[in-house]
A and B are shown apart, each in its own frame.
Chain A
Amino acid sequence: MQPNLRPITRETTDVSSAPGDSNADLHRHQESVPLPHGNRADVRKLSFWYGKTQALKEVNLPVVDRKVTALIGPSGCGKSTLLRCFNRMHDLYPGNRYDGEIRLYPEDENLVAIDPGLVRLRIGMVFQKPNPFPKSIYANVAAGLEVRGIKKRSVLDERVERALRHAALWDEVKDRLNGSAYGLSGGQQQRLCIARALAPEPEMILFDEPTSALDPLATAKIEDLVQQLAGEVTILIVTHNMQQASRISDFTAFMLMGEMVEYGNTDQVFTAPEDPRTDQYITGRFG
């Protein structure tokens, strides 16, 4: 596997920081630094405990920038647990403990050791079941921007539209932006949740089995969307569905009982897995 080594030159579009702001300049400077090995994040020897139960055992995983990395494995293998470490969802519940590192680049920070709020401002998430807020479509997409202190109506309007177009939902909802999000179908609600995650322009988006509650048609739309987004944002996706992983991901990681069994190019993992357990799983002999 040879991840791309090209430098990251994406301009930050953080409207909350004024031009000339030294922090913003610093940020922009850091953005142009090449990411080590082209990775957006590196999981290193990460262990995780729910109380006394160890759910992750010294897991290692590179997350390549602006590519789709899929996490696969049978139920209870720890793939969702690993995903939820990336935006510190586990911190909402008492008794959980991390050990090890998730290095986030280019800052090279350990994101399981810094403030969880800071992590969640940078890494968005789309959940298993569509979970829009009981508010209007517009308010749902604007929610993340408002959390970041963006209040100017013109900026909100523009970014809400951009996010909805990005999530391939604009044409379906442009005439009823003030209607309740609950009036949308399940698939539309999930695309709304994707738009909501996209609006603040995060560096990475986590998808936790985003299609498991959707019908095949809605699933296909979400899959197309994930592939389209991959060029712009780093995507980590947990999926139960191996066909889905092979269709939409660039890299695949196979987990079993809290351990990382195999990681590689999706083609290689699905056609010539190195570990016999991966082979057994993808050929349907267990799981």
Chain B
Amino acid sequence: MEADATRVVASGVRFQRLVAANRRTDIMMASIGILVLMVASALLASVLVDLILTGWPRLINPDFYTNFPSRKPEQAGIISAMVGTALVMLVTAVVSVPLAVAAGIYLEEYAPKNWLSDIIDINVSNLAGVPSIIYGLLALGLFVYGFGLGETILTAGLVLALLILPVIIVATREAIRSIPRDLREAAYGLGADKWQTVSHYVLPAARPGILTGTIVGLARAIGEAAPVITIGALTFIAFLPPPPVQSTPPFVNFDWLTSPFTVMPIQLFNWVSRPQAEFHINAAATGVVLMVMTLAMNGLAIYIRYQLRKHQRS
């Protein structure tokens, strides 16, 4: 009797030690995680703060946002770069999103599981890892010279679309795959065919994921300089492309597609490589605008995802 009681106490002590050890491990892992996060956030914040402090005189000057580039640093602005970036992004989004979403749907829902789809599968994942300058070389050979599209907004939009295709394809597939089997079986069980199931039930449920992937892809494209430099974007653009809309019929105008252009990262790169320190101030200010644009897009992605999820749940 007495021996039994001792044994019970002893095992209790043993478990106490085990629990204490587990708790120590938890605390250690949490501390490492917090440390890593703090280092990463601090780096990002210090870059942003540094850029803001350096670029401050230009950032608060409205002329900076409405002026064209200039030989005089205090008169130089980013209007042509901002418009160029916006138009290139428009082309990129219009080209990449439908293609990538369609590809994602095909691979996830329609493609038979065989060696061919396995090869496509591996290649899509690999494409996401190809350096962006390689896409630039491809575009230079294919779009600029092969198709004779020249160094235009269209070419830039196409190359950036290629660049982010794998990102959106992968995001679309992940989003579709995360739809519970239940939902799919419920639709098929009612007699729905594949396209009805995909378009009425799977895609609406996968929309937050697809949208997030799209915006993350576009946020990556907006900051890319290498492929755009490779295709020969100009660095000094003192005019705006023709506007896409006009007051006379047919109200839309596609001349802007074939216009020369510059984009924000190129403008930044150009200024930072000048010897004069005043241009470096401009470069810092451009960097801030670019980062704000990227962060705003990521913020939008989070907001849309949140709204759609809330809408679906309630």
Interface SS majority for chain B:
helix
- Cβ distance B166 to chain A, nearest Cβ, rounded Å: 25
The smallest C-beta distance from B28 to any residue of chain A, in angstroms, reads 39
Number of interface residues, chain B, beta carbon within 8 A: 22
Are B188 and A92 in contact, CB atoms less than 8 angstroms apart? yes
A-B residue pairs in contact (CB < 8 Å), sample of 5: A89-B185, A92-B188, A131-B186, A134-B205, A143-B200
B305 contacts partner chain A, Cβ-Cβ < 8 Å: no
Among residues of B, the one whose C-beta sits closest to the C-beta of A182 is B313
Taking a contact as CB atoms under 8 Å apart, the answer to whether A134 and B188 are in contact is no
Smallest distance from the beta carbon of B297 to chain A beta carbons, Å?
A: 27
Say yes or no: is A266 at the interface (Cβ < 8 Å to chain B): no
> Judging by beta carbons under 8 Å apart, are A117 and B193 in contact?
yes
Contacts of A197 in B (CB 8 A): 189-190
Give 3 nearest A-B pairs by CB, closest first. A121-B191, A131-B182, A144-B190
Query: Quick one: given A92-B184, A131-B183, A183-B314, are A87 and B113 in contact (CB under 8 Å)?
Result: no
One digit per residue, 1 when the CB lies within 8 angstroms of any chain B CB and 0 when it does not, for chain A 114-135 equals 0001001110110101011110
B219 to chain A, nearest CB (A): 28
A115 closest partner in B (C-beta) = B193
Contact residue range for chain A?
A: 20 to 34
Chain A 85-121 interface residues, beta-carbon cutoff 8 Å to B: 87, 89, 92, 94, 117, 120-121
Are B185 and A92 in contact (CB-based, < 8 A)? yes
A133 to chain B, nearest CB (A): 6
A120/B189 in contact, CB under 8 A: yes
In the assembled complex, B10 has its CB within 8 A of some CB on chain A = no
Knowing A92-B184, A131-B185, the reply to whether A120 touches B314 (Cβ < 8 A) is no
Say how far B264's CB is from chain A's closest CB, in angstroms: 39
- Give the chain A neighbours of B201 by CB distance below 8 A: 133
Verify A133–B183 contact, CB threshold 8 A. Answer: yes
Please tell me if B196 contacts chain A, counting CB pairs below 8 Å. yes
Give residues of chain B (81-137) contacting chain A, Cβ–Cβ below 8 Å. Answer: 113
- Which residues of chain B from 185 to 219 have a CB within 8 Å of any chain A CB? 185-193, 196, 200-201, 204-205
- In the bound complex, residues from chain B placing their C-beta under 8 Å from that of A79 are none
> In the complex, which residues 188-211 of chain A have their Cβ closer than 8 Å to any Cβ of chain B?
193, 196-197, 200
With the chains together, A122 CA to B192 CA distance in Å?
Answer: 12
Known: A133-B183, A134-B205. A182 touches B189 (CB 8 A): no
B314 x A182 contact (CB < 8 A)? yes
Residues of B near A183 (CB, < 8 A) are: 314
Q: A133-B201, A182-B314 are in contact. Are A127 and B190 (CB under 8 A)?
A: no
Taking A180-B314, A182-B313 as contacts, is the C-beta distance between A120 and B182 under 8 angstroms?
A: no
Residues of A within 8 A of B191 (CB): 117, 120-122, 144, 147-148, 200
Complex Cα spacing A226 to B312, Å: 30
**Closest Cβ of chain A: how far from B270's Cβ, in Å?**
49
Cα–Cα distance between A121 and B192 once the two chains are bound (Å): 8
Pick from A92, A120, A134, A180: contact of B190, CB under 8 Å: A120
Q: When the two chains form their complex, are residues A143 and B314 in contact, meaning their CB atoms are under 8 A apart? A: no
Expressed in whole angstroms, the Cα–Cα distance for A117 and B193 within the complex equals 6
A52 and B122 alpha carbons, distance in the complex (Å): 27
Question: In the complex, are the beta carbons of A133 and B182 less than 8 A apart?
Answer: no
- In angstroms, how far is the closest chain B Cβ from the Cβ of A45? 26
Measured CA separation A193–B187 after assembly (Å): 11
Q: Which residues of B contact A148 (CB under 8 A)?
A: 191
- The distance in angstroms between the C-alpha atoms of A84 and B31, with both chains bound, is 50
B205, closest chain A residue (CB): A134
Task: Report if A147-B190 is in contact (Cβ < 8 Å); known contacts: A92-B184, A131-B183, A183-B314.
Answer: yes
List 13 additional A-B contacts (Cβ < 8 Å) besides A121-B191, A200-B191: A89-B188, A89-B189, A92-B185, A117-B191, A120-B191, A122-B191, A124-B189, A127-B182, A132-B186, A134-B312, A144-B190, A147-B192, A200-B190
B189 touches A143 (CB 8 A): no
Residues of chain B within 8 A of A144, CB atoms compared:
190-191
Task: Report Cα–Cα, A131/B180, bound state, in Å.
Answer: 10
Among candidates A89, A94, A143, residue contacting B113 with C-beta atoms closer than 8 Å: A94
Contact of A127 among B186, B192, B205, B314 (CB under 8 A): B186
Q: Establish whether residues A87 and B189, one from each chain, have CB atoms under 8 Å apart when the complex forms.
A: yes
A38 CB to nearest B CB, Å: 26
User: Which residue from chain A places its CB closest to the CB of B112 in the assembled complex?
Assistant: A94
Please judge, given known A-B contacts A134-B205, A182-B314, whether A127 and B193 are in contact too, CB under 8 Å: no
User: Smallest CB–CB gap between A16 and chain B, Å?
Assistant: 12
Pair A143/B190 contact, Cβ less than 8 Å: yes
Report A208 CB to chain B, min CB distance, Å: 10
Question: How many Å lie between the Cα of A94 and that of B188 in the bound state?
Answer: 15
